[in-house]
Structure 1
Amino acid sequence: MTLNRKSLMLIAAGGSLALMLGAFAFQYLGGLPPCKLCIWQRYPHVIAIGIGLIALRFGNALLAWLGALAAFATAAIGGYHTGVERGWWEGPTTCSAGPIGGLSTDELFDQIMNAPLVRCDEVPWELFSLSMASWNMIVSLGLMALWIAAARKSA
Structure 2
Amino acid sequence: MQMTAISPRMLLALLLYGSALLLGGAYAFQYIGGLEPCQLCLYQRIPHGLVIAITLVALGVKPKGVALLAVLLSLGLILDISALMAGFHVGVEQKWWEGLPGCSSTAISTDMSIDQLKDAILGREKVVPCDEVVWSLFGISMAGYNFIASMIMAPVAFLGAAVAARSLKRETKQ
Alpha carbons of structure 1 residues 114 and 27: separation in structure 2 relative to 1, 3 Å? farther
Code of the aligned partner of 1:2? A
User: Hey, what's the Cα distance between the residues in 1 that align with 2:81 and 2:62?
Assistant: 23
Q: 1:116 Cα shift?
A: 3.9
User: Hey, what's the Cα distance between the residues in 2 that align with 1:2 and 1:23?
Assistant: 33
Question: 8 Å contact 1:10–1:55 — kept in the other structure?
Answer: no
User: Hey, what's the Cα distance between the residues in 1 that align with 2:156 and 2:77?
Assistant: 12
Over the matched positions of the two proteins, sequence identity in percent amounts to 38
Question: Using CA pairs below 8 Å that are at least 6 residues apart, which structure has the higher relative contact order?
Answer: 1
Code of the aligned partner of 1:82? V
Question: 8 Å contact 1:79–1:137 — kept in the other structure?
Answer: yes
Code of the aligned partner of 1:66? S
2:80 corresponds to 1:72: yes
Compute the TM-score of the two structures, normalised by the length of structure 1.
Answer: 0.84
Residue 27 of structure 1 corresponds to 30
The one of 46, 50, 56 equivalent to 2:49 is 46
User: Hey, what's the Cα distance between the residues in 1 that align with 2:96 and 2:124?
Assistant: 31
Unpaired segments ≥5 residues, structure 2: 104-118, 168-174
Runs of 4+ more than 2 Å apart: 112-117
Unpaired segments ≥5 residues, structure 1: 96-108
SS for the counterpart of 1:7 is helix
Q: 1:113 Cα shift?
A: 4.5
The one of 92, 97, 103 equivalent to 2:100 is 92
CA RMSD of aligned residues (A): 1.7
Residue 136 of structure 2 corresponds to 126
User: Hey, what's the Cα distance between the residues in 2 that align with 1:113 and 1:87?
Assistant: 24
Deviations 1:91-137 (A, max 9, x none): 01136xxxxxxxxxxxxx7xx84654310000000011111001100
2:145 corresponds to 1:135: yes
Question: 8 Å contact 1:20–1:42 — kept in the other structure?
Answer: yes
Residue 144 of structure 1 corresponds to 154
Which of these two proteins has the greater Rg computed from alpha carbons? 2
User: Hey, what's the Cα distance between the residues in 2 that align with 1:90 and 1:31?
Assistant: 26
Deviations 1:24-55 (A, max 9, x none): 00000011010000011000111111110121
User: Hey, what's the Cα distance between the residues in 1 that align with 2:102 and 2:73?
Assistant: 32
User: Hey, what's the Cα distance between the residues in 2 that align with 1:13 and 1:147?
Assistant: 11
Compute the TM-score of the two structures, normalised by the length of structure 2.
Answer: 0.75
Alpha carbons of structure 1 residues 118 and 130: separation in structure 2 relative to 1, 3 Å? same
Residue 105 of structure 1 corresponds to none
